[in-house]
Amino acid sequence: MWLSPVQIFPTEKEAGELKKQRAALGSTMGNMESWLLLRSLRTLGLRVSQQSQTATELAEWLHAAAASSADFDGIPAGAVVQVMHASVQMTSFDKRKQMPGGYGAVFAVLVGR
pLDDT digits over 30-83, tens only?
788 888 888 998 999 999 999 999 999 999 999 999 999 899 988 999 999 999
Burial class (CB in 10 A: 0-12, 13-18, 19+), 41: exposed
State pTM to two decimals: 0.66
29 DSSP assignment: P
CA-CA-CA-CA torsion sign (15, 16, 19, 25): negative
Same domain, 63 and 10: no
Q: Within the chain, what is the greatest distance between any pair of CA atoms?
A: 68
Count up the domains in the chain and report the number.
Answer: 2
The upper half-sphere exposure of residue 55, i.e. CA atoms within 13 Å in the direction of its Cβ, equals: 20
Compute the average pLDDT of residues 91-104.
81
109, 107, 106, 108: which is closest to 48 by C-alpha?
106
Q: Which residue segment(s) compose the domain that 108 sits in? A: 45-113
Q: How confident is the model at residue 4 (pLDDT cuts 50, 70, 90)?
A: low
Same domain, 37 and 90: no
Same domain, 77 and 95: yes
Same domain, 38 and 49: no
Percentage of residues in the chain having pLDDT higher than 90:
39
Same domain, 92 and 64: yes
Q: How confident is the model at residue 95 (pLDDT cuts 50, 70, 90)?
A: confident
For residue 106, pLDDT beyond 80: yes
For residue 1, pLDDT beyond 50: no
For residue 93, pLDDT beyond 80: no
For residue 84, pLDDT beyond 60: yes
